[in-house]
Amino acid sequence: MPHSISLTINGVPRSVQLDDPRVTLLDLLRERLELTGTKKGCDRGQCGACTVLIDGRRINSCLTLAISLDGAAVTTIEGLGASDDLHPVQAAFIEHDGFQCGFCTPGQIMSAVGLISEGQAGDDAERVREGMSGNLCRCAAYHGITEAVLDATRRVSASKDERQSA
């Protein structure tokens, strides 16, 4: 029996017909909606390559049934920034060489955005490493990733301070 759900994906309201209630958000994004920036790594919630934001919180999209998200706001890597207007986390990843092969990068960036917006990043490298521990990088770019998250945290904080004083 088909099910219809409504999602806001990267700011765009979408109505989606699900023929199978067992479809994961990851498969919906990649296969039906052609948003292939979110990667399928382990398909078991262990690597973090599929990390997206649901209503601003980090989740592994490979473990989340799409049908359970009716009414939710989904943000994928495609919804963060444009090539001429990068999100602060994207810019910091480039500046700090927070990627090598790039496969895990979308999930790493989405996890970092969530970590920062949740107020969990702080200014301590150990705290960032702990907060990002659900995202694996087979190339071991962890030092660059940590530095990028710390830098992006400072940028986002400075931007908030500027907006509040204006």
162 vs 166: CA distance, rounded Å: 6
Tell the CATH superfamily of the 3-79 domain.
Beta-grasp domain (3.10.20.30)
88-160 fold: DNA polymerase; domain 1 (1.10.150)
Q: What is the mean pLDDT of residues 152-163?
A: 84
* Contact assessment for residue 89 and residue 80, using Cβ atoms and an 8 Å cutoff: yes
**What does the pLDDT read at residue 29?**
98
Q: For the chain, what are the domain ranges?
A: 3-79, 88-160
7-57 per-position pLDDT tens digit: 999 999 999 999 999 999 999 999 999 999 999 999 999 999 999 999 999
The pLDDT confidence band at residue 160, using thresholds 50, 70 and 90, is confident
Mean pLDDT of 114-135: 93
| Residue 72: pLDDT band with limits 50, 70, 90 | very high
pTM above 0.75, yes or no: yes
